Amino acid sequence: MRLTHFQVMLLFAFVISVSFACLSKRYLGERVKYALWTFLMFLLVAVAIGWVMYPFSR
């Protein structure tokens, strides 16, 4: 199976977000909200870091 960098980033963000939510929140509703929030923050930060690093790749 071949995954792109973006797919690996999505998989990593999903797994870590679900793990954080299960370990830190008690109720299902809180877990879902927290998992979604951390997933989106992982993606936002990763894309932001990518854009900051882009000029240095040339």
Where exactly are the structural domains of the chain? 5-57
CA pair distance 43, 35, nearest whole angstrom: 12
Residues with Cβ within 8 Å of 42's Cβ and at least 6 positions away in sequence, in order, are 9, 12, 13, 16, 17
- pLDDT one-digit tens code per residue, 41-50: 999 999 999 9
pLDDT of 35 strictly over 90: yes
Report the predicted TM-score, pTM, of the whole model to 2 decimal places. Answer: 0.85
Do 42 and 33 touch, CB atoms closer than 8 A?
no
Integer CA distances (angstroms), 17 to 26, 30, 49, in order: 15, 13, 19
CA pair distance 42, 16, nearest whole angstrom: 9
